[in-house]
Amino acid sequence: MKTARTQNLVAVALNRYGDLLARLALVGPLACAVVSPPALADEGGVSVWLPGQFGSLAAAPGEPGWSLPMVYYHASADASGGADFEIGGRIAGGLDARADLMLVVPTYTFATPVWRGQAQFSMTTVAGKMDVSAEATLTAPSGAVLSRNASDSLTGLGDLFPMASLRWNDGNHNWLSYTQIGVPVGSYQVGRLANLGLNHGSADVGGGYTYLNQKAGREFSAVAGVTYNFENHDTNYRSGVDGHLDWGASQFLSEQLHVGLVGYFYNQLSGDSGSGARLGDFKSRVNGIGPQIGYLFKMGDRQAYINLKGYHEFDNKNRPEGWNVWLMLSVPLGTTKK
């Protein structure tokens, strides 16, 4: 049963673009924190946090009930010029990586308030293909060449990433807090260049803010967090603590269409450790920026949402540089009965 408090929370968001924004908010907290192979920091240059998974309307309230965001993610990155990365117990140089992933994120938004906020739970599942090539793979510390022009390809499943979040609304101002856990169940094998799983657990916590001027159809969102990584016991490698910031800004051109910019900042705060960290602390960073466009449309008798966004990466360190594209479709599966 939707409570009076929840009705008030949603009512605050409903103005000129209220119904549109409430539905769009279903896609804000995409728990897409899967391995990002082409965005190769941490062990193998791979971080748990997938930069760009949050965007516009991240902290805005949503409709109670089930929704199903689905994301096609394509990424391409390379690290030529002699840069080395430790992958699956091997050291590889001159990496070139491509990924095509499908993320499915069943999400439930609760009608009953929790701590005066709107609670939500989601679970990210991932499947797809990854291709990685290297100019050479080496041993350490001597640097003896094991192979040249090595390549690897893998089609399989990634890790699981449950996320719990709370949102609060006060007029044009919206706040978000979240907690995410990484469950290492994805495809992984020591010695492979291409892996869809990380083979270690993780915990990520953070918060965000959305300014939503419904009258002007204008919004800005930013979400920041930190990731703690547990040890990969098969390689004796522990990635350091990561810090990340995702942001998005958009202008509604109509009640159905909005356009804008998205971006992210990713920086490793502490170094890698363990006997397997043969390249030292290997602290990394990367930034990204690009355009976005979103459109609301009918799917049967229900409202659905599609969004396309892309990022060009720059200012990378100990991480390949490239680009990535996200195509997201969010389908509401039903709402809590009044």
Nearest to 78 by CA among 129, 157, 131, 13: 131
pLDDT band, residue 127 (cuts 50/70/90): very high
| Residues 156/101, Cβ–Cβ less than 8 Å | no
What type of residue is 88?
G
Confidence of residue 82 (pLDDT cuts 50, 70, 90): low
Span 69-83, average pLDDT: 82
For residue 173, pLDDT over 90 is answered with: yes
List the structure tokens of 56.
């516009």
> Is the pLDDT confidence value at 22 over 90?
no
pLDDT band at 296 (very low <50, low <70, confident <90, very high): confident
Q: Average pLDDT in the 109-132 region?
A: 93
Q: Is the pLDDT of residue 244 over 90?
A: yes
Percent of all residues in the chain with a pLDDT value above 90, rounded to a whole number: 50
How far is residue 157's CA from residue 170's CA, in Å, rounded to a whole number?
40
**Over residues 269-289, mean pLDDT:** 89
β-bridge mates for residue 263, sequence order: 247, 289
Residue 12 has pLDDT above 50, yes or no: no
More confident residue, 142 or 247: 247
* Predicted local distance difference test score (pLDDT) of residue 150: 76
Which of residues 213 and 79 earns the better pLDDT score? 213
Q: Which H or E run contains 7?
A: helix 4-13
Cis peptide before 141 (omega within 30 of 0): yes
Q: What pTM was computed for the model?
A: 0.83
Residue 138's pLDDT is: 60
The pLDDT of residue 247 is 97
3-state secondary structure of 158: coil
Residues contacting 112, CB < 8 A, separation 6+: 1, 3, 6, 119
Q: Which of 131-135, 136-140, 293-297 is the least confident region?
A: 136-140
| Burial of 301 (C-beta count, 10 Å sphere; 0-12/13-18/19+) | exposed
Task: Say whether pLDDT at 24 is over 80.
Answer: no
pLDDT of 80: 63
Q: Are residues 259 and 292 in contact, defined by beta-carbon separation less than 8 angstroms?
A: yes
Query: What pLDDT is attached to residue 2?
Result: 44
Residue 170: its pLDDT value, please? 94
Q: How confident is the model at residue 32 (pLDDT cuts 50, 70, 90)?
A: very low
Within 10 Å of residue 274's Cβ, how many Cβ atoms? 15
Exposure string over 42-71, b if 16+ CB within 10 A, otherwise e: bbbbbbbbbbbbbbbbbbbbbbbbbbebeb
The predicted model gives 13-21 an average pLDDT of: 44
pLDDT at 194 exceeding the cut of 80? yes
What are the residue boundaries of the structural domains of the chain, listed by start? 4-334
CATH superfamily of 4-334: monomeric porin ompg (2.40.160.40)
Across 22-36, 88-102, 152-166, 298-312, the highest mean pLDDT is recorded for 152-166
Q: Do residues 95 and 108 touch, judged by C-beta distance below 8 A?
A: no
The mean per-residue pLDDT over the stretch 247-271 comes to 94
